[in-house]
Amino acid sequence: MAHISHPARWLTGLTLLLLAGTAVAAGLQDVRADRTGAPVFRFLFWNLFLAWVPYVLALVMTGLDRLRAPGWLLAGVGVVWLLFLPNAPYILTDFIHVGAIPGAPQWFDVLLIGSFAATGLLLGLASLLLVHHVVARRLGAVAGWVLAVGSLALSSIGVYLGRFPRFNSWDVLTNPHGLVEVVGYRLADPLGNPFLVQFALAMTAGLLVSYLATWAVGQALAEGRRRGVAQYGG
């Protein structure tokens, strides 16, 4: 995995891009609320806030790694990061609300939800890219890819648990018994729910393709910067 030159500058640009996406999504929601007099999609703000949590935790892990923090501390933050990661792609499932809530043309609601979903997905992919770099630096390239693919698969199951049984990340603390009961029931008969298997496979495949594209862009930017430094010495 190529080393990223000037990481502070790179992370600042990435964060500004994600903030811009958040501002656009919030603006579209405000327009709808102003025109209809009812902020019916304001739950998207909460969903997007939860999508920011894994990104912020990934920034924390990146900082801790550069400070040479012990592995147990990084692992602790990483567990919390993984618990919140499904909140980022979860917003993709909010497209089920298109056409279900009157007050605006469907094309506008597609644009509105799409802006939240795209920003949430980018937050998740960016956070995974950062954690991938940390794990690869600490444990090697193979471990980095195992972490990346495994996180996407677990996130797909997390999205299912959030959309259908209606669990969320907080239930690890507030309703651990219910969460463990549902997960244990499914693990006892992993093929007993064909829809869960199909949903998880499709979501994992989609997220993996998206992440591979994100990783490739990151590699290309890092390589371009490296060549520029080598050629011009700046």
Query: What's the whole-model pTM score?
Result: 0.88
Contacts of 96 by beta carbon, 8 Å cutoff, 6+ apart: none
Could you give the CA distance from residue 133 to residue 155 in angstroms, rounded to a whole number? 19
Mean pLDDT in order along the chain per 10 residues (234 residues): 58 92 95 86 93 97 95 96 96 91 90 97 96 95 96 94 84 79 76 87 96 88 62 52
Report which secondary-structure segment, H or E, holds 127. helix 106-139
Whether the CB-CB separation of 113 and 99 falls below 8 Å is answered with no
pLDDT of residue 234: 46
pLDDT of residue 186: 74
125 burial class (0-12, 13-18, 19+ CB within 10 angstroms)? buried
